[in-house]
Amino acid sequence: MNAQSATRKTFRREGEDKRREDLIAATLECVAERGLAGATVREIAMRADVTAGLIRYYFPTKDDLISAAYRAVMNRMTVQASDALQNAANDPRARLQAFVTANLGEPIMDPHNLSLWAGFIALVHADPVMAAAHRDGYLGFRDELEILIREALIATGKPAERVHTRRHAIAINAIIDGLWLEGCLARDIFAEGELAETGIIAIEAVLGISLTAEGDAR
């Protein structure tokens, strides 16, 4: 009723989960567009259509928000890769192929994912807690891969001893990571699906089996 200047922002009280998700999403937007440095509390708040103070209500410190955002991305990528497995055929070789193809295509192979990942990696070196979290994620991924490899080898009638599957998992993990990296950094210099195909061929060579053919041997 008085000069109604500086009208206070109207707002809705959202559920705690919704707000956290929105804030994390806004954070990812910022990081994706302008790097970690561009993810300031004020910018994040603006994107989430919220005032800066609210961030501290849900996340004690900005680092907590950042690390939550990182976990969200890693989790999202893991889930997306697993989803591809669920929709895959029963044949172990087809499953391994689906896993590789999923990791080397949209939406996992995306520059934004790399940006956030890289920004976080730079922190891993300093923060032991994050280092542990990262290692767990890496080993989890590799273990999942090793299982796929063993089953594919067995399905082809090949020996699948632990000593070898471990080494294969390390190498194939490297192939996937390396191609993912290349794709994220310069997707435009590769043809559509080229990297996934390259990965499959390389992995077939490493394992000495075919992932596409129906037969047990070549």
Residues at the site binding DNA, with contacts judged by CB under 7 A: 6-14, 16, 19, 39-43, 49-58, 61-63
> Cβ of residue 132: shortest distance to a copy of itself, in angstroms?
11
C-alpha dist (Å) from residue 81 to 136, 160, 201: 17, 23, 19
Report the residue number, 92 or 183, with the smaller CB distance to a copy of itself.
183
Report the residue number, 60 or 111, with the smaller CB distance to a copy of itself.
111
SS3 of residue 173 by DSSP? helix
Residue 9 has what DSSP assignment? P
> Cβ of residue 127: shortest distance to DNA, in angstroms?
13
> Cβ of residue 53: shortest distance to a copy of itself, in angstroms?
23
> Cβ of residue 71: shortest distance to DNA, in angstroms?
18
Q: Is 106 exposed, middle or buried (0-12, 13-18, 19+ CB in 10 A)?
A: exposed
Interface with a copy of itself (CB under 8 A): 31-38, 111-112, 114-115, 118-119, 121-126, 134-135, 138, 167, 170-171, 173-179, 181-182, 185-186, 189-190, 194-195, 198-199, 201-202, 205-206, 208
Other CB atoms within 10 A of residue 35 CB:
13
Task: Pick one of a copy of itself, DNA, none as the site partner of residue 143 (Cβ within 5 to 8 A by kind).
Answer: none
Q: What gap in Å lies between CA 25 and CA 47, rounded to an integer? A: 9
Residue 107: is the preceding peptide bond cis (ω within 30°)?
yes
